[in-house]
Amino acid sequence: MIKVNELNIPTLDDLNFTNSKVMVRVDINSPVDVKNGKLLDDSRIRAHVDTIRELVNKGNSVVLISHQGRPGDNDFTDLSEHSRLLQKYLDLEVEFVDDVMGPYARERIKNMKSGSVILLDNIRFVSEELIEASPLQHSRSFLVKRLSPLFQGYVNDAFATSHRSQASLVGFPLVLRSSAGRVMEREVSALAKVFNEEDSPKIFIMGGGKVLDSLRIIENLVKRRLADRILTGGLIAELFAVAKGLDLGKENLQVLEKVGVLGLVTRARKLLLSGAPVEIPVDFKVEREGKVYEEPANKVNGVIKDIGSATVGIYSSFIRDAKTIVMRGPMGIIEDERFRESSKILLRNSMESPGYLIIGGGHMISLLGGDVNVSSSKMHVSTGGGALLLFLAGEKLPALEALDISAREVLKK
Ligand SMILES: Nc1ncnc2c1ncn2[C@@H]1O[C@H](COP(=O)(O)OP(=O)(O)O)[C@@H](O)[C@H]1O
Ligand SMILES: O=C(OP(=O)(O)O)[C@H](O)COP(=O)(O)O
């Protein structure tokens, strides 16, 4: 069992599925190249290989379900390319079933041989999946009623979607013996460590562009006294610099206004006044007329694109002394090579620090070469974006709650 907050989540070790038919909810939702519809990155597909192989090796037949994109968006595609990539990484035949819960899908599932693998099509082709509803309500959906009688168990390995209360995530655990898969287990155990008092000092390095999300996390971290220091970069650093009264110049205020976050200055100021341990950069890399300059934070003249080298030095000294380090969001506009260095140095120093490191979000992972399977006893790379943020902010994740309900109500029967 993984114990996280007040939840008890069964793992594959607790249920030990053998020679059974098991449904596995994965998150292989991947970025799509809008020009040709091809997948741009397959790290989420690779992440689930261990869970699937383990189940297959124990004689189980495995039926995988996942979503891809949202209806109406460019990345809302079928899962045929995903199945080819899964087959390649698993080195096992993966049958792609171009149906979700109709007679064809049910017939293919009924006729599965032991140790075989099926990938059903995009679960969001089913309208019930698109509603956020309670586990009880979803357990009565057509999706759950049609598919669950074909299975002996359900495994949720989709940590990156665990902040959604959708049928494929919260409905099945109420009617099937259910556990977390290895990705989910790895994610939840590693992230729960952040809440372990003994691993202090805890340092959060927060950058990137999701300013409102970051502010929400910082408010929660402060309220729950989870962070000893919060080192800011990216747009959130600019917000706090303004809140501290620094004059960043018209151009940078315009950037904050354009992304709709200038109105958050008062909230940031309130946090600072309440004694929040938020550090802001002492210098920035700015771009002016196509050239790059490093300038002190109180004398900025140009558009801020990254944190400066004095800040990198100071942040690195905090990193060296930390027991737990969480990194989410880059320090600068890393798409431009000239502004990638600070994030890379902080990432390298965090990896070399004796502290435990958690890295999340697509941009930081891209600095690691897109490999989400590099977790070790010293470091955890999260597959999650929104889910990671919400978990760290102390909010409840519906998919985890559903597994806890399952442990109490289905396993005990
Ligand atoms: N100072 C900055 N000004 C504008 N954008 C920034 C700045 N620093 C970082 N960014 C942008 O933040 C984006 C990444 O942020 P975000 O989506 O929050 O991270 P992640 O994808 O890792 O969760 C990048 O596109 C990067 O260009
Ligand atoms: O990519 C995902 O989330 P993320 O963009 O927060 O990492 C998950 O697959 C959830 O997808 P959704 O946000 O369409 O529910």
Annotated binding residue 70:
yes
234-243 vs 211-223: helix axis angle to the nearest 10? 70
Give me the amino acid identity at 152. Answer: Q
81 lines ligand 2 (CB under 6 A): no
Ligand 2: nearest atom to the Cα of 384: 7
* pLDDT given at position 195: 65
DSSP-derived pairing of the beta strands 379-381 and 61-65 = unpaired
pTM for the whole thing? 0.81
159 Cα: distance to centroid of ligand 2 (angstroms):
10
* pLDDT, position 95: 98
Q: Answer yes or no: is the ipTM higher than 0.85.
A: yes
- The number of the ligand nearest the C-alpha atom of 25 reads 2
**Domains observed in the chain:** 2-185+396-409 (3.40.50.1260), 189-392 (3.40.50.1260)
Q: Is 52 flagged in the annotation as binding?
A: no
Phi first, then psi: what are they for 54, rounded to 5°?
Answer: -60, -45
- What is the Å distance from ligand 1's center to 328 Cα? 10
The pLDDT assigned to 196 comes to: 64
In 3D space, the residue among 248, 242, 246 whose CA is nearest the CA of residue 271 turns out to be: 242
User: Is residue 302 within 6 Å of ligand 1 at its C-beta?
Assistant: no
- Residues in the chain, pLDDT under 70: 194-198, 370-375, 413
Closest C-alpha to ligand 2, atom 11: 161
For ligand 1, atom 25, which residue shows the shortest CA distance? 333
Report pLDDT for 197: 60
Does 332 sit in the ligand 1 pocket, CB within 6 Å? yes
Sheet holding 278-279, edge to edge: 278-279, 229-232, 202-206, 324-328, 356-360, 379-381
User: Ligand 2 within 6 A of 29 CB?
Assistant: yes
Residue 409 is which amino acid? Answer: E
